[in-house]
Structure 1
Amino acid sequence: MRDFRPRGRHLTVVVLGLLLAGLTAGAFAAPAALSPGDMCRLRSVTEARISPDGKWIAAVVSRQREAGDAPGGNYAELHVWSVETGQARPFITGQVAVSAPEWSPDGRLIAFLLKRGDDAKTQIWTIPADGGEAAPATQSATDVLAFRWHPDGSRLAYVAQPSPTAREQELEKKGYNFIYFEENLKPRALHLVGLPAGGVFPEPVLLVGDLSVWDFCFSPDGARIALAATERNLVDHMYMFQKIYRLELADRALTPWVDPDGKLGRLAFSPDGAKLAYTAAAERKDHAESQVYVVAQGGRTPRNLTPPDFAGHVAWAGWQDADTVLYLAGEGVSQTLSAVAWRGGERRLLLDGAACGLVFGAPHAARDGRVMAMTGHAAAHPTELFVWTGTGEPRRLSWSNPWLPERTLGRQEVIRYAARDGRSIEGLLVHPTAEEPSRKPPLVVVVHGGPEAHYANGWLTRYSEPVQVLAGMGYLVFLPNYRASTGYGVAFAAEGYGDPAGKEFDDIADGIDHLVCAGMADAGRVGLIGGSYGGYAAAWFASYYTRYVRAVCMFVGISDLVSKRGTTDIPYEELQVHSGKPLEQMWELALQRSPLYHAAKSRTAVLIIGGAQDTRVHPSQSLEFYRQLKMTGHPAVRLVQYPGEGHGNRKQPGRIDTLLRQLDWLDWYVRDLKPLDGPLPPLDLSDRYGLTLPDR
């Protein structure tokens, strides 16, 4: 058997790159620090829409289900805030999941998506803006996936798939509902329907039935729709093959408009209806939307309004007025909101997140454009509701967690260091809430997924990445924005193209070296956690870079680049924006950059967790790594899978277990330095889930 005792310098990095939320308290943290139980109590404002007159904001407030509730996603309530007074009124509350609130053009109604009843379908509902009873506005036979108000306020356009035919239903009932993989797909069809009156629901009109519509918007006069669609209803096609079409409502003529030749983001007509703004990739191999474009109504050639060599990524575009485009961008660990003339020119920086200490989302403006609603988070609080008048700093309207200031949070700072080739890398560092003067703190590295993502200098704590809980437990927490991250420009992001686990993961190792050499972290107590591509990093550090970390938590992570290509639901995305070559042209590289290939080297405790129904990173990636580690005699490996979960845990049982299990694993092997060839951490955590259970 291999020697699993610590050898010399042994680091432990924690890579979590995806979700978190939390549970039972007490034993993990000092009384004043954020506990796992506190995480279950956290609320956040996730969506915000301002009324046309700018006086009210409809917003969604999200909270995790109680441990003993029926398994499911977060509850999401509808509340309405007064812009003038800041007072909020609850509209739709309780055990509900409201989403996508939208004001009617006259401001008299608020529409939203809601599924009410276990066997019901998601429908569009409306509620009077001055309060009252909510009522369904559609009777779709399948779930409504997205909707928009027609500018005349009397109709709604929505996306839904066709309902099963009577023949299909009978075949299913008799057990003949076979799976024809990626065939007989039903499109995401676009419909138009009038509002119900007197209990009578008008028959919807099918506008687009042979394409899958992913986004759409009306021209201000309601005469046409700009829509983003693909020929096939596949998530891979949504990523890579969307095209923009123009639909004339008068005769339902659908014509191609723009082919972005890469990833496509949000569409927005100008107030005069003469132009369309949208976000998209710079080129096909660009792995994220990064640019802002505008195209004239009668034209086909878009104009790129993004500054040359822009050291950031554009994430949203809208309009300030008929001649001025607004765009939201991530620039480093901060957000910015800028304006630029639609014909081009220098941008004007309107709102700088670094200056106001806020990581804000896309603004939603009232009809006159003078007042905007937005969500935003900061190092001291999760996402809340803000209002902004175009000058000064946004004004906070919501305090969803009034108890949070009573908790001691770890000090958060931006950190920069030089990688081995001299490239400057940025990240975030969260310090322990209490440090032992006599010894250096253990380090946990949290690695984001994607890699087309980045950490912003705001609230970082989630169920899969419990950053502030870890800080309260005495850990120094490091979140690197390694090469291939967004937020630093297309060239920086492209440094991971065709080079999986290369410079990108070297940057993480160099960050660990930097913190250790600076005397900030204990080299012998390092852990790493991460999800998806961050889970790939966890597996890489458990194998190829095993000397750096003592324990990892690999969440929905990648272990085998060869089999991953054949089992993911986004093979074209993987080929065109990540690998750059078909598998037959890179067998050797794919093999050598697979953690599975290096599994026999591992001297790291490996916790592998993920959803049993993951289509993005197939569960076989976890099983392969687990089996290979076990077959090499590795004594400290565990695989836990969550039934019914996909690429990330949506329901509270899996979130609670992920949070507690990762904390246990890190404490056991990183903080307490338990021997790898000794007993594993406790398997059964059910006493700490917060449930009422029969005695053992």
Structure 2
Amino acid sequence: MNKTSYTSIEELIQMPWIQSISIGKGGKVVSYVKRTSDLAENAYRNHVWVYEIDGQKHYPITTGKSESSSPAWAPDKNYLAYIAEMGEKEKLRKQIILKTFDEFNGIQITNSAEGVNNFIWSPDGKGIYYTTTEADSEELKRRKETYGEFEYVDKEYKNDYLCYVGIEEAIESFKELSNKKKGENEGTKDVEVAITDPRDFSIKGFNISTDGKKAVLICTPTGDIRDRETKVYLLDISTKKFRELNITGSFSSNISFSPDGNRIVFAKTPREPEYYKWKVDEDVVLEVYDIEKEETTMRLSKLDRSVIPIKWTSKGILVTWQDRANYRIGMVSENGEISSIYSKGECYIAEADSTSDGENIAYIKIEKNKAAEVYLNAVKITNESRVYENKLLSKKELLIWSTKDGLEIEGVLSKPYDYDSNKKYPLLVVIHGGPTWASFPIHNMNRLYPIEQFIEKGFIVLEPNYRGSSGYGSKFLTENFRMLGVGDYEDVISGVDNLIEKGIIDSKRVGVMGWSQGGYISAFCATFSNRFKAISVGAGISNWITYYVNTDITTFTRSYLGATPWNDPEIYAKTSPMTYIKTACTPTLIQHGDNDKRVPVPNAYELYRGLQDLEVESELVVFKGMEHSPHKPGLHKAIMEQNLEWFVKHV
């Protein structure tokens, strides 16, 4: 069949997306989550699927409107646990569901008032440890009943704490309730046990030793998202006593015990105020700590990338890391050597899981011109790439250029399948968010901007991995310190100039767009430059002071600007798009969610009002009920259609 069209916006929205992988029964079964779109209901549906090697069959655990996520197989048992939303429509809470395959199709084994955040199986498979958020106190309930809802800012937090539910007890409870008359009781009776007290600290990550006797907890004093004071505790599960380990710094939530239970591995992630003070040769991206000796026994720092541990197996520590515009998995040996597995060449391995012996690894991998697929070891076990069988695909290549201040920038360049080197194309620059993230040479990974549709309309597209992007080393990661906007603009415009010099693009037909941090850079381009024909600002920062006093992550601003606006107003002015508003002249589309706590909507109104007062063509679209990112297919569709129309009209 002849391929005649690129992926449409509606087709992009309806493309399945695979995530959350788990391997079980000694490598004989794999579970994963497939996200699909229900356009009629304007909702995304997440369902757990299972693949059995014996018989080579796939089947879903849930279907229809009942969603599921986060599957995990019990050690050496034919039990699968996953999370599903349970309860009344207005009081839906995430609870753990157990499927035993031989007896129960799916029973609810937790009844947490605030829902389950995340969970892991106990090593013996007899129970599940999970974290949940503390419920309203009786005092707070009375206050709400008496006065209504209000909040003491920066004083009222809810902490996450550790709980345990035994499988046998949960099953017995379910049987008891099943034998009673229908309607007498709902859910299971209380069989959950609190392991930690939420008044002590808030748990960000945890793991259980292989003998089931110890837990390691990554904690912050409060549940406030801005709280960076991380501590690591070792918990004796039987006595519920814990001691603080002699580990300093900030950590990701991923932490794992060694098979013998004597060591732990974790990733250090330096944050404010130390983020930009670390020297490159002193960066520690992965660290092994001996619990008994109370000392670090191995550091992996040669890679100069953030390395995240997945699981400590008998063959080594399974890890994942970003390598420029690729994502890889590998094993770290006892002596700190790292080796890549199943990730040669250009690829993006999104997630992975392994059996405890390290002999079997399941992972989600995206390769050139392919969709996300599930692999078991080196064997592909899904066929999601069939969505491209009858579609034209843009040609994606990695482009490298230099900035005036001597930085090497890499970006993804997308061209039409029938690219004509004798023709000059209009250019659209699509800027990723983060800033510690990146763009990858993968089709339809961007669900905010319709890159394939831009290509079909005659554009070429550049996605720059500007300074501060992850995967290019710690020095590059810190190059945007106190250089936000100014340095970012140089990275974007030098990429544009590089394409002009190559004779690829029409210099008078260039547009730029981005979301979140990409939206901020686009806003900076809108006020700082006259080089563009049209601009789109998605959930972007327009004024750093406005952002600082409204956002839920004020630490972000201090990390990147190195100060508060009160002790260094000059750096806030220098890096704010609104400082340059009087020179703005480019038609600008602004898109923002009215419930965005990360980049609150006053940023959008401030930019829009400034452009309107200066009589610069501009449109502001505020999406009701939307937070920092769209959460419904209809919102994705509207955002992409508005951008397609805007840039076709103006560029």
- Same fold by TM-score greater than 0.5: yes
**Residues 1:321 and 2:314 are matched in the alignment:** yes
Residues 255/351 of structure 1: CA separation in 2 closer, same or farther (3 Å cut) = same
The structure, 1 or 2, with the larger RCO (C-alpha pairs under 8 Å, 6+ apart) is: 1
- Amino acid in structure 2 at the alignment position of 1:110: L
**Coordinate RMSD, CA, aligned:** 2.3
Q: 2:354, 2:222 → 1: CA distance?
A: 34
Of 514, 523, 545, the match for 2:507: 523
TM norm structure 2? 0.91
Q: 1:333, 1:249 → 2: CA distance?
A: 42
Residues 220/482 of structure 1: CA separation in 2 closer, same or farther (3 Å cut) = same
Q: 1:615, 1:259 → 2: CA distance?
A: 32
Q: 1:197, 1:82 → 2: CA distance?
A: 25
8 Å CA contact 1:386–1:395 kept in 2: the answer is yes
Of 181, 203, 227, the match for 2:217: 227
Instruction: Name stretches of at least 5 consecutive residues in structure 1 with no aligned partner.
Output: 1-29, 389-393, 671-696
**Residues 1:598 and 2:580 are matched in the alignment:** yes
Residues 378/460 of structure 1: CA separation in 2 closer, same or farther (3 Å cut) = farther
**Residues 1:624 and 2:606 are matched in the alignment:** yes
Q: Deviations over 1:131-177 (max 9, x none)?
A: 85211011112211111111222222111122334554454355522
TM superposition shift of 1:653: 2.7
8 Å CA contact 2:331–2:338 kept in 1: the answer is yes
Q: 1:382, 1:442 → 2: CA distance?
A: 27
Q: Deviations over 1:321-365 (max 9, x none)?
A: 27x3332211111223333333x34433334342xx421134211
TM norm structure 1? 0.85
Of 280, 285, 293, the match for 1:291: 285
SS in 2 for 1:429: strand
Question: 2:384 is matched with which residue?
Answer: 400
8 Å CA contact 2:540–2:599 kept in 1: the answer is yes
8 Å CA contact 2:306–2:322 kept in 1: the answer is yes
Q: 1:486, 1:86 → 2: CA distance?
A: 38
Question: 1:123 is matched with which residue?
Answer: 95
- Amino acid in structure 2 at the alignment position of 1:80: V
Of 243, 248, 266, the match for 2:236: 248
Question: 2:647 is matched with which residue?
Answer: 666
8 Å CA contact 2:20–2:351 kept in 1: the answer is no
Of 492, 505, 509, the match for 1:508: 492
Question: 1:572 is matched with which residue?
Answer: 555
**Residues 1:610 and 2:610 are matched in the alignment:** no
Where does 1:60-71 land on structure 2 (aligned, <5 Å)? 60-66=33-39, 68-69=40-41, 71=42
Instruction: Name stretches of at least 5 consecutive residues in structure 2 with no aligned partner.
Output: 177-188
Q: Deviations over 1:184-204 (max 9, x none)?
A: 222112111222133254532
Question: 2:123 is matched with which residue?
Answer: 151
8 Å CA contact 1:42–1:401 kept in 2: the answer is no
Of 1, 4, 18, the match for 1:45: 18
8 Å CA contact 1:415–1:427 kept in 2: the answer is yes
SS in 2 for 1:599: helix
Identity %: 22
Q: 2:646, 2:271 → 1: CA distance?
A: 42
SS in 1 for 2:649: helix
TM superposition shift of 1:668: 0.8
TM superposition shift of 1:562: 1.7
Q: Deviations over 1:606-632 (max 9, x none)?
A: 111011111111111111111111111
- Amino acid in structure 1 at the alignment position of 2:265: A
**Residues 1:447 and 2:439 are matched in the alignment:** no
8 Å CA contact 2:284–2:299 kept in 1: the answer is no
SS in 2 for 1:359: strand
Question: 1:197 is matched with which residue?
Answer: 171
**Residues 1:352 and 2:352 are matched in the alignment:** no
Of 301, 313, 326, the match for 2:295: 301
Q: 1:498, 1:570 → 2: CA distance?
A: 17
Question: 1:639 is matched with which residue?
Answer: 620
Residues 326/194 of structure 1: CA separation in 2 closer, same or farther (3 Å cut) = closer
Q: Deviations over 1:503-538 (max 9, x none)?
A: 233111100100111111111111111111100111
Q: How many residues align?
A: 623
8 Å CA contact 2:310–2:353 kept in 1: the answer is no
8 Å CA contact 1:147–1:158 kept in 2: the answer is yes
TM superposition shift of 1:387: 1.4
Residues 291/541 of structure 1: CA separation in 2 closer, same or farther (3 Å cut) = same
Question: 1:89 is matched with which residue?
Answer: 59
SS in 1 for 2:250: coil
Question: 1:369 is matched with which residue?
Answer: 358
8 Å CA contact 2:264–2:289 kept in 1: the answer is yes
8 Å CA contact 2:285–2:299 kept in 1: the answer is yes
TM superposition shift of 1:182: 2.8
Where does 1:237-276 land on structure 2 (aligned, <5 Å)? 237=227, 240-276=228-264
TM superposition shift of 1:377: 1.5
Residues 362/278 of structure 1: CA separation in 2 closer, same or farther (3 Å cut) = farther
Q: 1:400, 1:352 → 2: CA distance?
A: 19
Q: Which moved more, 1:661-670 or 1:183-192?
A: 183-192
Q: 1:95, 1:425 → 2: CA distance?
A: 44
Q: Deviations over 1:615-651 (max 9, x none)?
A: 11111111111111111121x1111111111111112
Question: 2:324 is matched with which residue?
Answer: 332
Of 71, 79, 88, the match for 1:109: 79
Question: 2:186 is matched with which residue?
Answer: none
Q: 1:84, 1:549 → 2: CA distance?
A: 57
